[in-house]
Amino acid sequence: MNNTDNLQNSPLDGPPNACDRADGGRARLSERTADDKGLKEQKGRLADGGLSPRRARRDAPYLLMLWIAALCTVISACAGVAAPVRIIFDTDVGNDVDDVLALSVLHALQTRGECELLAVTITKPDELAGPFADAVNTFYGRPGIPIGFTHSKLPNEPSKFLPLAETKDGANLRYPHQLKRSSDAPEATVLLRKVLSRQPDGSVVLVQVGYFSNFDALLDTPGDASSPLAGRELVRQKVKLLSVMAGGFSASRRDLEYNVTQDLPASKRLVPNWPTPIVWSGFEIGIAVPYPAVSIERDFSYVPHHPAAEAYCLYNPPPHERPTWDLTSALYAVRPDRGYFGLSSPGQVTVEENGFTRFTPAPGGRDRFLTLNDIQAARVKEALVELASQPPCK
């Protein structure tokens, strides 16, 4: 028997981590040890007037609520005076868990007054993708964010964590939400046109972290009740930037990146026709900034169940550290001027027949891609952990 098993029910243990909760408490994913000296020191502190383990457990929820309330007050007080960045988040949530963490990052930035999440559109053709996104939005206290769903006929792979949208504790949904099936949501292009038409000109930043399906289809839409403008002109008028996690721009690799290849016809149509600036976060950027497993295990335990942490554990649990691909595009979209990333020179991206993204420098070019040095990578990781694990302020 592993000696760590003896510690699982110790009164000196902290609360179970998110992965314990995701698997019903059947396994502890982190090894914890305590030597005799540490236990004696702990007992000494208790003897000197510290909280008893029983009282500490009893008071923990109350103290946690006070801490979250204080945190939300500080965040609100520190919110900047600049107008929040208007964001539409386009995602293939369910294929990988970085989409979920990226959505958490955007909610944290909205709580800080730095952005406004106008809509979430889904490119994964899964009936639980929309409900899961709705559940995450509801968890963060924003159940009214509209959700649009792809009408593409792409194949769908079952998700490891989207069934969380249907998970119940007793008779109640663990993560409440209103949307029952993705197909009950409006078509993504219809929602995109409606939302864009209501925004000031040149004010919207699109964050695309999934397939190119929805935004490609948007370009080809005709005028409608929302706007007389055709799709490409509507994008040109309302969109400031497309921040996209796609492609690969390492000089030493030829990555055929997933988001490009999964709907390759859409990628090949959108890239030459998109009318606004694009900043690409390539495959190599997320690889350089893995999300710390210790954060998943420890930083989300302020609630009994957290959708991002439990999704992570179901997808590929700690000690695995998932690349932060989608999170980097979300962070750049809202904080482009904080020095987290460098930028390439201007140029033009083309999508080759096999899905490889080729960048050609060109003065005045539409496209740039993110770059990252070691110092920036450390800053990005710190910012992403802080934002992704920030408690919701409801």
pLDDT reported for residue 26: 39
Confidence band, pLDDT 50/70/90 cuts, at residue 44: very low
- The string of DSSP codes covering 178-192 is S---GGGSPBHHHHH
Please write down the long-range contacts of 52-61, taking CB distance under 8 Å and 24 or more positions apart: 53/11, 53/12, 54/11, 57/11, 60/15
* Residue 106 clears pLDDT 80, i.e. is over it: yes
Q: Are 146 and 119 in contact (CB under 8 A)?
A: yes
Domain 84-388 belongs to what architecture? Answer: Alpha-Beta Complex (3.90)
Summarize pLDDT for 197-213 with one digit per residue, the tens: 999 999 999 999 999 99
Confidence band, pLDDT 50/70/90 cuts, at residue 20: confident
Give the span between the Cα atoms of 307 and 319, in whole angstroms: 18
* Residue 49 clears pLDDT 50, i.e. is over it: no
* Residue 283 clears pLDDT 70, i.e. is over it: yes
* Residue 320 clears pLDDT 50, i.e. is over it: yes
Q: Are 241 and 333 in contact (CB under 8 A)?
A: yes
* Residue 220 clears pLDDT 70, i.e. is over it: yes
- This prediction's pTM: 0.85
Count of CB atoms situated within 10 Å of the CB of 178: 13
Mean pLDDT, the chain, integer: 87
Give the span between the Cα atoms of 389 and 181, in whole angstroms: 27
For the chain, the structural domain boundaries read 37-78, 84-388
pLDDT reported for residue 135: 98
